[in-house]
Structure 1
Amino acid sequence: MNKTLFAATLLLCTTQSYGFSQETHKRIVEDAVSYMAQNPNTTHYQKLYAWSQKLGLTPTQLGQLMGQAAYDVDDFEDTFLCGAITGNCVQAPIWGMAESIVKYTSYWHFQNHTQGADAHGNDFGGYNYDKLTVWGTIDTLAATWLKGDHLDDGQGGQTGWFGADNSKYNSYQITEKNYRIGSQSQYGMYKNFEKIPFQPIDNLGQYWYQSFLSHKNPQLLGFVFHTTDLLQPHHTWTTSDLNHSGWENWIKDYYDQEKLNDFTLVSDVMGSFAPLDSQSQDIRPILTQGGAFSYAQGGIVLNSKDHYDRVATAKQVIPHAIAMVVHLLNHAMEQE
């Protein structure tokens, strides 16, 4: 397909970033802090309050700071793919120049529950076009556009034709290495986009959580909370299409109108998560629980645009997302 026509087709298909919208990510974190404030006897709110005071912030301001960090993860400039022929490395496809279109960093934001273990040895892998069991036009068009393109591995690494090498960032030795926690990789896995086994989002969350424990910077903890993408069914069924953008825009538009953050619903689902062991620094078990829930309960939004189908699903996944963040905050406060 002519690439100009191809890009135009993608612009028609793509209107928003993958996963919950950035605004929704922020709201979920802010609501988690508010929930803790309203439920101090069943959460570690007092420890959160003391930490906020130490930082010179109110708990509300701390929630806003961490929420903004969760928002910011979609804007990371840490993942470049390079042309199979040109060797030119970019952080977004040409259609990504339009407002709110994702960068390649979003491919680290999936946990595929339709498959088992991945090539890295993770229990559940991340986005891998070659392993998708549900997909749509955007998935296929992207894989066609990026066929043979490789993950940037720095100057002197993989090149285009005739040694063309316009590396911008060593994504393999920085980003992929960061998210390689508990698994193994070889660069050969990242030479052809259509077969790349991206690391799953729970490894992203674990990396930033370990960073938080080392530095106690609330922004780093906020990065962890982008893992609420695991409660977005498209991220566990794993597709960039099938009403993906329409669903996330609907969530943003109806978040307040449909009271998706009803704290009664949050209280009801808090017990559906097995609390993390305070003696362990591995938070991935609870992240996988969140992913398993959205995979089991949210598949209808891949195929239905009906308002009431979306309400029914959203009133499950959003309270679970808020509850998951509360559990993560409780665990983080236990490490203080």
Structure 2
Amino acid sequence: MKKQLLTALLLLSTSQAQAFSQETHKRIVIDAVNYMQQHPSSTEFLALSRYAQQNNMTITQLADVLGQAAYDVDDFEDTFFCGAVTGSCVQAPVWGAAESIVKYTSYWHFQNHTQGADQHGNDFGGYNYQKLTVWGTVDNLASAWLKGDYLDDGKGGETGWFNADSSKYNSYGVTEANYRIDSDSTYSMYDDFEEMPFQPIDNLGQYWYQSYLQSGNPQVLGFVFHTTDLLQPHHTWTTSDLNHSSWESWVKDYYDQEKLNDTALITQAMQTFSALDINSQDVRPLLTQGGAFSYSQGGIVLNSKDHYDRLDTAKQVIPHAIAMVVHLLNHAMVARQ
């Protein structure tokens, strides 16, 4: 069975991708910093400049560090699934080895707006194959390929047959625990892939934002900005398929040609968001606003490859992604003063 799936997945490997491409994630952050520089009176650019100086950087260098960190989140080596029979634990599917395929860590990068609260108690859950309302072949094949596989729990006791286990990383005790903010989990939720209720990406963002407030580290702050995945419709409609990869490539290819980072559109998008309460350290309300916007505006790109359908969506979600980062930077600069 798995040999047949391997063949099918190799043929489909180019259709699975990591939402906005890593390059797009970086550009969004750099463009947010540039926007702040162009609008110092309506943003916290002066505080951002001081932050750059405190870290011995120019504003350009800081933008690059923040953007690179947003890029790097897709490369985290923090999520391993282990074979139901073999107990062999890996961080990516073998059928993705020849391509730039997301690692299993990307399953934490969703916020499912097609469903309500999840079994953890989050207002919106993350990726959960059982709860998908739109899906494609990649979702189905991944579920079949990983059927019964379990999330690496270190030496927690879950094994394959005959106690076989080659644990590489305690993904449940570290990664899931980090993203378990204000919610509850039991390991039984993660012992079969096809039933796993992954924590949503807003919890990922909140974890790294709290870490930034404690450390002041620019790289850690940059990790927060990977949450612009929330402006990628596939990550709020929630599917690994349905033109996921081709849409990602289209955005990267036309980012400059179609001026997706148009300043006037960013200014309009800034007004869409309700600014965060400066007395609160919880940035998830803003992140959920971004997710709600992409869910309401971007569903067509799941089913259409038409250039102008994509352009219409991109000219909404990219400026809103940039605006969301500006709002986060504004809050981050004031919160640590």
Q: Return the offset for 1:214.
A: 0.3
CA contact (8 A) 2:13 2:99 kept: no
* Equivalent residue number for residue 31 of structure 1: 31
Query: C-alpha distance in 1, partners of 2:11/2:23?
Result: 23
Q: What count of residue pairs does the alignment treat as equivalent? A: 335
Q: Does 1:187 align with 2:184?
A: no
Segments of 5+ residues of structure 2 without an aligned counterpart are none
CA contact (8 A) 1:156 1:165 kept: no
Q: Return the offset for 1:156.
A: 4.6
Query: C-alpha distance in 2, partners of 1:70/1:99?
Result: 21
CA contact (8 A) 2:111 2:235 kept: yes
* Equivalent residue number for residue 292 of structure 1: 292
* Equivalent residue number for residue 206 of structure 2: 206
Query: C-alpha distance in 1, partners of 2:23/2:245?
Result: 14
* Alpha carbons of structure 1 residues 38 and 92: separation in structure 2 relative to 1, 3 Å: same
* Equivalent residue number for residue 318 of structure 1: 318
Q: Return the offset for 1:17.
A: 2.5
CA contact (8 A) 1:155 1:166 kept: no
Q: Does 1:244 align with 2:251?
A: no
Give 3-state SS (helix, strand or coil) of 2:183's partner: coil
Question: What TM-score do the two structures reach when normalised by structure 2?
Answer: 0.98
Q: Percent identity?
A: 73
* Equivalent residue number for residue 107 of structure 2: 107
Q: Return the offset for 1:13.
A: 1.7
Q: Return the offset for 1:6.
A: 1.7
Query: C-alpha distance in 1, partners of 2:18/2:194?
Result: 18
Query: C-alpha distance in 1, partners of 2:241/2:282?
Result: 31
Query: C-alpha distance in 2, partners of 1:74/1:87?
Result: 25
Give 3-state SS (helix, strand or coil) of 1:230's partner: helix
Query: C-alpha distance in 2, partners of 1:7/1:27?
Result: 34
Q: Return the offset for 1:142.
A: 0.1
Give 3-state SS (helix, strand or coil) of 2:118's partner: coil
Q: Deviations over 1:163-188 (max 9, x none)?
A: 11111100000000000000000000
* Equivalent residue number for residue 264 of structure 1: 264
RMSD between aligned alpha carbons? 0.8
* Equivalent residue number for residue 78 of structure 1: 78
* Equivalent residue number for residue 55 of structure 1: 55
Query: C-alpha distance in 2, partners of 1:9/1:41?
Result: 54
User: In the TM superposition, what are the counterparts of 1:99-248 in structure 2 within 5 Å?
Assistant: 99-248=99-248
Q: Does 1:302 align with 2:302?
A: yes
* Equivalent residue number for residue 10 of structure 2: 11
Alignment-mate amino acid for residue 5 of structure 1: Q
Query: C-alpha distance in 2, partners of 1:4/1:75?
Result: 27
CA contact (8 A) 1:111 1:235 kept: yes
* Equivalent residue number for residue 331 of structure 1: 331
Q: Deviations over 1:112-158 (max 9, x none)?
A: 00000001000000000000000000000000000000000012520
Alignment-mate amino acid for residue 116 of structure 1: G
Query: C-alpha distance in 2, partners of 1:269/1:191?
Result: 41
Alignment-mate amino acid for residue 9 of structure 2: L
Query: C-alpha distance in 2, partners of 1:166/1:207?
Result: 28
Query: C-alpha distance in 2, partners of 1:102/1:154?
Result: 22
Moved more, 168-177 or 156-165: 156-165
Q: Return the offset for 1:12.
A: 2.1
* Equivalent residue number for residue 46 of structure 1: 46
Alignment-mate amino acid for residue 31 of structure 1: D
Alignment-mate amino acid for residue 65 of structure 2: L
Segments of 5+ residues of structure 1 without an aligned counterpart are none
Alignment-mate amino acid for residue 12 of structure 1: L
CA contact (8 A) 1:14 1:245 kept: no
CA contact (8 A) 2:74 2:106 kept: yes
